[in-house]
Amino acid sequence: MSVWMKCKAEGRPTPLISWILANRTQVRGKIREKERVSVSAEGTLIIEQVSVHDRGHYKCIASNPAGADTATVRLQVVAAPPGIKEEKRQHLKASVSQSLWIPCTGQGSPNPTMHWVLNDGSMVRSNRPARNPRIYVYVNGTLQIKAITPADNGKYECIATSSTGSERRVVTLIVEKQESAPYIVKTSQRMTELFFGDQLILNCSATGDPKPRIMWRLPSKAHYKEKGIQVLDNGTLIVNTVSNKDAGDYLCVARSKMGDALQLMMVHVTMKPAKIEPKLNGKKQVTYGYDLKVDCKASGAPKPEISWGLPDGTVVNRGLHLIHPSSQTYARVKPGGNIRFDCEALGEPRPKILWMLPNNDVIGASNDRYLMHVNGSLDIRAVKLIDAGEYVCIARNLAGDKRKVYKLDLDGNPPMINGYRQNRTVIKDVAAKFSRKLIDCKAEGNPTPSITWIMPDNIFLKAPYFGSRINVHQNGTLEIRNVRPTDTAEFICMARNDGGEAVMVVQLEVTSMLRRPIFKNPFNERIVSRFGKTIVLNCSADGQPTPEIIWTFPNGTRVTSEHHHDSQHRLGNNGTLVIYNPRKEDAGKYRCGAKNFMGYIEKLIILDVGQKPYILTRPRGIIRSMSGEPLFLHCLSDGNPKPGIYWTIPGGHTLTRPQVFGRYQLLENGTLVVQDTTLHDRGNYICRAQNDAGEAVLSVPVIIIAYPPRISTAPPPNVKAVTGTSIQLNCAAIGIPKPEITWELPDNSVLSAAGQGRHLGSELLHPQGTLIIQRPTASDSGTYKCLAKNSVGTDFKVTYVHVL
């Protein structure tokens, strides 16, 4: 889009047109080719491709040797400021290793550009690679963070910027570190059988946050650091050479600050090889059709399995045959649900079914928690957290044992307190002495958790509880009435269900009085500073506890630490912001906030970095004006903020604002007009342009030019005329100011040329001073006197008219 601003000027000689642009650039009366801004031959200012940056005041100056005149045009460029569709402040919670997309949709005219300021202060623009390959900003402004880590915790600011301004959105990301108790995920089989002298390898690996440490309890009570015994980094136990002392129960312990996890494994060391007792008579006869019975006794540890090889090559033995269960071997059950594990075995003799539970107890019949069916199936009813783990079905007869492992996991949500997903949360809180304090403990989970508060003196209060001074409400909120100084302590809320438990530790501080923040100066401010002069912005606030001061710069940068400083800015501990050597780009809106437990307040400080005034028009030499003519004295100025114009006239009077004072008029653009000038108007006229950044002075010397009248054209001394024939008496005069022509007639009457034409009897006087006597008679004879008069003097000529 283009803008045309016309500026027509008249004068003699033809005035020169020049323009002063909004950025104080001066464009003179010629076309600037290949430029976005140009001036036509008629003086019209043309601006191509108008943007918001072109708004402001444009001054047209028309000047010639006789003086100058100005006209000011204010250009407004209408545009929609940038905006962000999403909420301006948002808190998000994410878990470690999760990927997150944070939207930030900009709108406005023109379309704003979007960029993000990350928690470390670095800036990322759309479709440009960031220093961190896990972070990317899409064209629509969405910020993606892949595989979130605890280091990503903090504030992220989305800033939409266009030529009309900027808008921002602040997202606070809380990365929840999910601490978890140790959990053993992989072990060797429950029973390991070895021969004397073999190498024993038992695996045991566990997960948890923090990472658990693996320890072993050996049946020989030997320390696992002894010679021949070692534990690898992954938790694997190695015994190089086993003996009978190494047989027994091996307990793997996974330990962290969150607790312990245990897994029992058994090791059997075979000490005696199988041996058949010899028979003295190795031959036996039997009648055809009768039974043959031959004994075969064998010994060994473990008891050997006996097989017979028949003459036809057939091998016959007796043993156990376990039928693999047709049902599932893994189940995930909600707390309170029921599950059945099927385990049916065949063998000769018929095997007995035993079940080894997760706590390593072995049952062979039903009890109050478990139901065993005749076919060996195991029912687990009203499943709880302690029921999770491995179940081993053991089918046993004289031939030995067969085992099948089943696994049960709990499908439930562990408790979560006030939205914190970690098992343990520590927060700080304050309360005023003698007040009533409420501490929320909202627990969520499946099944619904029970809530218990642990008091500083180790007293357990289960919700709901109502006492004389302390109550625990049904929703988990702890109420303390008439708070005492001795209540400065830790209060622990514990939420528990079958899925686990969560703990919130509240460190309560009791103060004499709590006050929300209040600014010492609560009003918004506008401050003007000069270029390069250090400026201090004050945002001091009181409150209890002492509030934290937060500054937001015009570019959206947020500073909260009193120790933050750079080469240009420094934050004081009293809430002040010091800006060294301020520049034009430092101007704008500074927001300061004060925050404590009781609330948050904010105020606005607008900083204008001022420009000392300077006067654009300066006359060359002395100003000369004709007496009686109006005098125009120009004083066009610029500065930031816009300067005020003050004129002091030679008599000492000062005009301080656009006004009319007698013959003096001060215009809006700073021009001083003096009407009907006289010789008394000569002298020095002083113009002062003043603003908060300084002052500029212009002295204009003025002289008033005046000459006394001199009659240049006059009638002859004597004129003869005939009765009835009109007589014309010419009288013209020069002088400054322009003389007034009057005629004195023979009868002493006076005829003035002030009108367009004046009749007095038969006489007619033209404005130019010519006197015409129409149809003269003898009575019109006499002396006629032409007088030329101005403020400087008088001149006259006399003519005698004789009418015949």
pLDDT tens-place string over residues 25-48 = 888 755 455 678 888 888 898 888
Residues 790, 791, 795, 798, CA torsion sign: positive
What are the Cα distances from residue 456, in Å, to 453, 487, 489, 508, 678? Answer: 10, 8, 6, 11, 97
CATH number for the domain formed by residue range(s) 321-410:
2.60.40.10
Q: Is 354 left (phi over 0), alpha (psi -120 to 50) or beta?
A: beta
What percent of the chain is modeled with pLDDT above 70? 93
Strand partners, 259: 256
At residue 152, the 3 state secondary structure works out as helix
Total-model pTM:
0.31
460-516: pLDDT as tens digits: 999 999 988 999 999 999 999 999 999 999 999 999 887 778 899 999 988 877 788
Q: What is the pLDDT of residue 756?
A: 43
CB atoms within 10 A of CB 52: 16
CATH class of 180-270: mainly beta
The answer to whether the beta carbons of residues 211 and 255 sit under 8 Å apart is: no
At residue 33, the 3 state secondary structure works out as coil
CATH number for the domain formed by residue range(s) 3-75:
2.60.40.10
Question: Looking at domain 515-610, what is its CATH homologous superfamily?
Answer: Immunoglobulins (2.60.40.10)
Query: What does the angle CA 188 – CA 190 – CA 192 come to, to the nearest 5 degrees?
Result: 75
Which residues have a Cβ under 8 Å from the Cβ of 468 and sit 6 or more positions away?
Answer: none
Q: What is the pLDDT of residue 303?
A: 64
Phi, psi of 91 (to 5 degrees): -110, 125
Nearest to 180 by CA among 123, 73, 96, 65: 96
Q: Where in the chain is the domain with CATH 2.60.40.10?
A: 3-75, 80-176, 180-270, 321-410, 413-511, 515-610, 616-705, 707-803
The answer to whether the beta carbons of residues 60 and 70 sit under 8 Å apart is: yes
Query: What does the angle CA 529 – CA 534 – CA 536 come to, to the nearest 5 degrees?
Result: 80
**Average pLDDT of span 767-788:** 87
598-622: pLDDT as tens digits: 888 989 999 888 778 888 888 888 8
CATH number for the domain formed by residue range(s) 413-511:
2.60.40.10
Residue matched to tokens 């939409």 = 160
CATH class of 616-705: mainly beta
**Average pLDDT of span 425-444:** 90
Fold of the domain built from segment(s) 707-803: Immunoglobulin-like (2.60.40)
What percent of the chain is modeled with pLDDT above 90? 20
CATH class of 80-176: mainly beta
**Average pLDDT of span 379-402:** 86
Joined tokens for residue 443: 């627990």
At residue 779, the 3 state secondary structure works out as helix
The answer to whether the beta carbons of residues 703 and 725 sit under 8 Å apart is: no
pLDDT band of 2, cuts 50, 70, 90:
confident
Q: Is the pLDDT of residue 757 over 50?
A: no
Report the alpha-carbon distance of residue 680 to residue 700 in Å, rounded.
16
Nearest to 61 by CA among 49, 70, 53, 48: 70
Joined tokens for residue 353: 């079914």
Residue 305 burial class via C-beta count within 10 angstroms: exposed 0-12, middle 13-18, buried 19 and up: middle
Beta strands in 343-423 (DSSP E): 345-347, 352-356, 362-363, 370-372, 378-380, 389-397, 400-410, 413-417
Residues 225, 231, 237, 242, CA torsion sign: negative
Nearest to 174 by CA among 152, 147, 157: 152
